[in-house]
A and B are shown apart, each in its own frame.
Chain A
Amino acid sequence: MSMIQMCRIAKIYDNGVPALYDIDLQIPAGDFAYITGSSGAGKSTLLRLLYCADRPTRGQILMGNRNITRLNARKIAFLRRQIGFVFQDFKLLQNRSVIENVALPLQVQGVSVKETRSRAFELLQYVGLEYKMQRKPLELSGGEQQRVAIARAMIVRPKLLLADEPTGNLDYSLAQEIMEMFFRINRTGTTVLVATHDTEVMRLLPQRTIALDNGHIISDTRPTDVLSKTAIDQSQETV
């Protein structure tokens, strides 16, 4: 079953700047995929369309069996309750504690205080930050803040996790740690889409990779394809 289906999607911003052209994409439920490309290739726009921050100029987007192309504000809010978000700049509320940040999505959904707190604590244990739950985000390192953001994304048990340059502000070892966390989440059945241009991470942890350039999908490869292509490249180099 497909988690995401994009049919002939195009996005042209109001100022006339084109961001995506004729995107056809299918992401099966439980898949893990990188969306890669240089700056301005359209990675963030593609993610924004998936969480309805922008509407496509053309085409249809299905999430599960639901067309999410033209939802009203209230329906968008309810859709987002099934999606987890992780961003490069963490997007944590600086004036609230770590546990309050993690608990926020459940608070919004009106879940009881007791259940919210216990679930938030559970997730802080999962990301290894339960001992810092009363700290404010600015008292944490970049890697720790990103782990808090992941815990917040996971608290709603999302069907889909969207990450936009999640390792952009982190050094290599922290980036690897964060990516491994995404794999753990993926293994629980959550579909994970990571927009990144960190080739090092993609090389070491190969997964399906959708490459964008100037708003077009230029390649959509699986690790086996990547490996075989690398093998071909190497053999050509040898020749």
Chain B
Amino acid sequence: MKRLRYFIQRTFLNMIQSPLLSSATIGTIGVALMLLAFFTLIVLNVQNLTRQWSREIQVTVYLEQVPSTTKLQQWQEQIEQMPNVGHVTYVSQTEAFELFRKRLGRNDDLLDGLLPEILPASFEVELTQKFRSGHGAELLVQELKKNPAFSGFRYGQDWLKRYDAFVFLLKLTGALAGGFLIFATLFIISNTIKLTIYARRDELEIMTLIGATPMFIKIPFLAEGALQGIIGALLALGGCHALYFFFLKRGLSALLTTTAAGNITFLPLSVQAGIILLGFVLGICGSALPLRKFVRM
């Protein structure tokens, strides 16, 4: 208990007694993690946006002839049971005709004299989240083609190709930029902590000379690193929230007339906790590595 009190006391005193070094470390951790948090914020929001777009992906299955109600129900159930299918809606010829009329708007008189039978009945098949891509749609179509009564399929092939290319580019950019950013963050933080410990190497040497055991010397430094990591991460989240609020929320809504800015959300709690944990782990690991070098008996 006495030891624990000493370590806690020493951790805070070390930070108070070396205010410049402490604030430099916290500042560096804060800025590095803020960049990472802001990047994550952008990636997550773009992912949300593409997820919304992906809801548009559906396969329309046209029927050669309208079968009996029993047959229709049987086919609908059959499609619904496929693993990559989310929801199936039957669109009758009359419904299709009415929809077409609506789309024509003021020109709906073009349909005057025509019967709903000129349009085929169809199933509108929504895919599950995992299969909402060009490849997923093609897989479903291959499966549906096994039924000869399904005469045609439409799933926006051209749009899907562009969507797939965009998602691929987004993932690639995210992985490259994210990887670089994580590496840069680790590099900057570990080097800053290393320099602060280097600046205090005399203290480490003196502690070894007066009979402190390696763990006794290291624990306050590790705790200090962890605390600096957590404070840095909290500052990073604060800074990231300020950027989100002033730049993304207010700035974008002033620039854009669309509701896109309204859909932008801040980091979910799990990611915020992850960033605090990252700060904690970086603080400890960043301190542990140079301590191994400098605490030599």
Question: Which A residues contact B (CB, under 8 angstroms)?
Answer: 51-53, 73-74, 76-81, 85, 91-93, 95-96, 104-105, 107-110, 112, 152, 156
B214 and chain A: residue at smallest CB distance: A73
Within 8 A of A (CB), among B197-217: 202-203, 205-214, 216
User: A52 vs B208: C-alpha distance in the bound complex, in angstroms?
Assistant: 11
Q: A52-B297, A110-B3 are in contact. Are A93 and B211 (CB under 8 A)?
A: no
For the complex of A and B, list the 9 residue pairs with the smallest distance between their C-beta atoms, beginning with the closest: A81-B211, A80-B211, A95-B17, A105-B210, A77-B213, A108-B212, A73-B297, A76-B297, A91-B206
Identify A77's interface contact among B3, B203, B208, CB under 8 A. B208
B74 at the interface (CB under 8 A from A): no
A108 touches B216 (CB 8 A): yes
User: A104 vs B17: C-alpha distance in the bound complex, in angstroms?
Assistant: 15
Q: A52-B297, A91-B202 are in contact. Are A80 and B17 (CB under 8 A)?
A: no
* Nearest Cβ on chain A to B25's Cβ, whole angstroms: 15
CB-defined contacts of A93 to chain B, threshold 8 Å: 202-203, 206
CB-defined contacts of B210 to chain A, threshold 8 Å: 80-81, 85, 104-105, 108, 152, 156
Q: A76-B297, A96-B17 are in contact. Are A51 and B209 (CB under 8 A)?
A: yes
User: A237 vs B208: C-alpha distance in the bound complex, in angstroms?
Assistant: 51
B14-45 vs A, Cβ < 8 Å mask (1 yes, 0 no) = 00011000000000000000000000000000
Count, A-B residue pairs, CB within 8 A? 57
* Nearest Cβ on chain B to A55's Cβ, whole angstroms: 10
User: A133 vs B205: C-alpha distance in the bound complex, in angstroms?
Assistant: 23
CB-defined contacts of A105 to chain B, threshold 8 Å: 210-211
B130 at the interface (CB under 8 A from A): no
Identify A53's interface contact among B203, B206, B297, CB under 8 A. B297
User: A96 vs B203: C-alpha distance in the bound complex, in angstroms?
Assistant: 10
* Nearest Cβ on chain A to B17's Cβ, whole angstroms: 4
User: A80 vs B17: C-alpha distance in the bound complex, in angstroms?
Assistant: 26
Interface size on B, residues (CB 8 A): 19
Identify B213's interface contact among A74, A85, A95, CB under 8 A. A74
CB-defined contacts of B214 to chain A, threshold 8 Å: 73-74, 77
Question: Which B residues contact A (CB, under 8 angstroms)?
Answer: 2-3, 6, 17-18, 202-203, 205-214, 216, 297
User: A96 vs B210: C-alpha distance in the bound complex, in angstroms?
Assistant: 15
B3 touches A108 (CB 8 A): no
* Nearest Cβ on chain A to B152's Cβ, whole angstroms: 78
Q: A77-B211, A77-B213, A107-B6 are in contact. Are A95 and B297 (CB under 8 A)?
A: no
Identify A109's interface contact among B203, B206, B209, B211, CB under 8 A. B211
B295 and chain A: residue at smallest CB distance: A73
CB-defined contacts of A110 to chain B, threshold 8 Å: 2-3, 6
* Nearest Cβ on chain A to B199's Cβ, whole angstroms: 11
A77 touches B212 (CB 8 A): yes
User: A78 vs B209: C-alpha distance in the bound complex, in angstroms?
Assistant: 10
User: A84 vs B114: C-alpha distance in the bound complex, in angstroms?
Assistant: 108
* Nearest Cβ on chain B to A145's Cβ, whole angstroms: 13
A80 touches B209 (CB 8 A): yes
CB-defined contacts of B18 to chain A, threshold 8 Å: 95
User: A222 vs B21: C-alpha distance in the bound complex, in angstroms?
Assistant: 51
User: A105 vs B203: C-alpha distance in the bound complex, in angstroms?
Assistant: 13
CB-defined contacts of A92 to chain B, threshold 8 Å: 206
* Nearest Cβ on chain B to A78's Cβ, whole angstroms: 7
CB-defined contacts of A74 to chain B, threshold 8 Å: 213-214
User: A234 vs B200: C-alpha distance in the bound complex, in angstroms?
Assistant: 53
CB-defined contacts of B2 to chain A, threshold 8 Å: 110, 112
Given A104-B207, A105-B211, 20 more contacts at CB 8 Å?
A52-B297, A53-B297, A73-B213, A74-B213, A76-B297, A78-B213, A81-B210, A85-B209, A85-B210, A91-B202, A91-B209, A93-B202, A93-B203, A95-B17, A95-B18, A104-B210, A105-B210, A108-B211, A110-B2, A156-B210
* Nearest Cβ on chain B to A76's Cβ, whole angstroms: 4
User: A2 vs B188: C-alpha distance in the bound complex, in angstroms?
Assistant: 53
